[in-house]
Amino acid sequence: MCGRFTLASELEQLSEHFGDLQLELEFSPRYNITPTQDVAVIANTSEVGDVHKVEFYHWGLIPSWAKDPKIGSRMINARSETLTEKPSFRSAYKRRRCLILADGYYEWQTVPGEKSKQPIYIRLKSQNPFAFAGLWEEWKANYMEKALRSCTIITCSSNSYLEEFHHRMPVILPKDAYVQWLSPNEQSNEMLQPLLKPFPDDKMEAYPVSRFVNRPANDSPECIQRVSATDTDSQKIEQSLF
Query: What pLDDT, in 10s, does the model give residues 115-149?
Result: 899 999 999 999 999 999 999 999 988 888 889 99
CATH architecture, domain 5-208: Alpha-Beta Complex (3.90)
CA distance 168 to 171: 9
- Collapsing DSSP to helix, strand or coil, 35 comes out as coil
Cite the active site residues.
2, 107
Query: Considering only CA atoms, which of 7, 233, 226, 9 is closest in space to residue 121?
Result: 226
CA distance 68 to 72: 9
pLDDT in tens, 183-211: 999 999 999 999 999 999 999 999 999 99
Per-residue pLDDT at 143: 80
Per-residue pLDDT at 147: 92
pLDDT confidence band for 98 (50 / 70 / 90): very high
pLDDT greater at residue 236 or residue 75: 75
Name the pairing type of β-strands 130-139 and 148-157: antiparallel
Q: Are 21 and 14 in contact (CB under 8 A)?
A: yes
Per-residue pLDDT at 228: 81
**Radius of gyration of the CA atoms of the chain, in A:** 18
Residue type for 84, please? Answer: T
CA distance 101 to 184: 19
Can you list the alpha helix ranges (DSSP code H) found in the chain?
Answer: 11-18, 90-95, 178-181, 189-192, 229-239
Per-residue pLDDT at 26: 79
pLDDT in tens, 20-39: 888 877 789 999 999 999 99
Per-residue pLDDT at 236: 44
pLDDT confidence band for 50 (50 / 70 / 90): low
Burial annotation 155-191 (CB, 10 A radius, 16+ → b, else e): bbebbebbeebbebbbbbbeeebbeebbeeeebeeee
CA distance 134 to 45: 13
Main-chain phi, psi angles of 158, to 5 degrees: -70, 155
H or E stretch at 32: strand 30-33
4, HSE (Cβ side, Cα atoms, 13 Å): 19
pLDDT confidence band for 49 (50 / 70 / 90): low
Query: Considering only CA atoms, which of 58, 226, 33 is closest in space to residue 151?
Result: 58
Name the pairing type of β-strands 38-43 and 97-102: antiparallel
